[in-house]
Amino acid sequence: MLSSLGRIGPNELMRLWSPACSFAPAGPSVRDAAELVRPDARHDIAIYAPTENRYHVGTFTNRGILAKLSADRSEAWRSLDLAYLHRYMLDELLIAGAMKGKAPSIGYTPLIEEAERMAREALGVAILVKPTAMAELRAVAEAHDFMPQKSTYFYPKLATGLAIHPLA
């Protein structure tokens, strides 16, 4: 969830991101927002605009830019949807470009309804991404690279805290 965007509303945000992504309104037949980010969906992300109470879907159009922006990262990392969103769309186009170095507030939640609520309350936007596939996680690990922040959410979590930290 993005907020504290100043005068940048959902439509302006999608215009700013036009070098990176082509957007279209999600069809009125969408009853469950989770359908928009299924692994087999034709598009890459979905943006919830609370001012319109509707979703827009986006398809990435310039994935090769990460080879230039993040040449130090592995090809496996550069192929991740969340890496593209964070490194190009957020870092370059929004923060360094339109916001002149000022970062927006970013909130994370694995729940779509919670993301929508947060976006409404903060007058921001919710961005839904496809879940990270195990093959993607494995490829990044085998390349000795790190996953982007908040790109992996697994439930149930392993109860490792007790085994790692002594109780006494």
Judged by DSSP in three states, 117 sits in helix
Radius of gyration of the chain (CA): 17
Cβ-defined contacts of 68-77 (< 8 Å, 24+): 73/145, 74/140, 74/143, 74/144, 74/145, 75/143, 76/136, 76/139, 76/140, 76/142, 76/143, 76/145, 77/140, 77/143, 77/145, 77/146, 77/147, 77/148
What percentage of residues in the chain have a pLDDT greater than 70?
Answer: 89
State pLDDT tens for residues 119-162.
Answer: 999 999 999 999 889 999 999 999 999 998 877 766 555 565 55
Q: pLDDT tens-digit profile of 19-46?
A: 999 999 997 766 788 999 999 999 999 9
Secondary structure class of 115 (helix, strand, coil): helix
Whether omega before 156 lies within 30 degrees of 0, making that bond cis, reads: yes
* Count of domains forming the chain: 1
Lay out the sheet containing 54-60: strands in order across. 21-25, 54-60, 45-49, 126-129
- C-alpha 147/C-alpha 31 separation (Å) is 31
Report d(CA 81, CA 131) in Å as an integer: 9
pLDDT at residue 168 greater than cutoff 70: no
Among residues 86, 75, 88, 166, which one has the least CA distance to residue 127? 86
Q: Supply the pLDDT for residue 160.
A: 58
Expressed as residue numbers, the domain containing 121 is: 2-164
* Confidence class for position 80, pLDDT limits 50, 70, 90: very high
CB-based contacts of 161-164 (< 8 A; 24+ apart in sequence): none
Q: How confident is the model at residue 31, as a pLDDT?
A: 75
In this predicted structure, the answer to whether residue 165 has a pLDDT above a threshold of 80 is no
Q: What is the mean pLDDT of the chain?
A: 90
Tokens matching residue 2: 């993005």
